[in-house]
Amino acid sequence: MSQGPRLVMLGKQGAGKGTQAARVAEHYRIVHLSTGELFRAAAHAGTAFGVRAKEYMDRGELVPDETVVGLIEERFTADGSPLRGGFVLDGFPRNLAQAEALDAMLAGIDRGLDAILFFDVSDEIGMERALSRAEIEGRSDDTPEVIAKRLAVYHEQTEPIVEHYRATGKLVPLHADRTIDEVWAEIVDALQVVTAA
């Protein structure tokens, strides 16, 4: 393929999406787009938009779809957007409406996603890892209560996307309970097929 892969990282908190997204972006020289990071940066900068987003984040709820979809759309449709050369989306889409908006957006540009990497981990491992990250990073939405809320939101709103993408034949389930290097090896194997296409 002349351009880099177009990927989505899907999975609950603590599944390792962010860590692997950074590796994937570096290895394939594609853009790493994390909606959570965009919101945290806006909140840190104190913009009106960031302050509003932080209220949702601190409760462990999803920021409203129009805001998130608008943000992603802007980046895709910008003239000479680096996203055209390939991307890894980390934290988006988070519900079916967002997944459908992304499908429509990509159909409007040219081609769709190449693979959806599904980081499959138990709730227990996801919680454990999120709690230990909380100690290291000190994110304001990493308290035990908010972590539990985010997990509930994942089951209710994000999990249905797994079936949406499974139906496309492009879902790649990963053993995300394994070590970082083991999961990375699974990803490289899976993407060899995609990037050879």
Residues in contact with ligand AMP by CB under 6 A are: 13, 35-36, 39, 56-57, 60-63, 68, 91-92, 94, 98, 141, 150
CB of 77 to ligand AMP, least distance (A): 18
Q: Is 150 a catalytic residue?
A: yes
CB 131 within 8 A of CB 24: no
Q: Is 94 a catalytic residue?
A: yes
Q: Is 40 a catalytic residue?
A: no
Give the active site residue among 17, 23, 40, 129: 17
CB of 79 to ligand AMP, least distance (A): 24
13 or 20: CB nearest ligand AMP: 13
Residue nearest to ligand AMP (CB): 36
Residues pairing with 188 in the sheet: none
CB of 19 to ligand AMP, least distance (A): 12
Kindly state the tokens that stand for 81: 């957007």
**Cα–Cα distance for residue pair 14/186, rounded to 1 Å:** 18
Residue 4 makes CB contacts below 8 A (sequence gap 6+) with 28, 29, 30, 85, 86, 87
Instruction: Output the CA torsion sign for 89, 91, 92, 94.
Output: positive
Q: Is 23 a catalytic residue?
A: no
Catalytic residues, by residue number, are 17, 94, 133, 139, 150
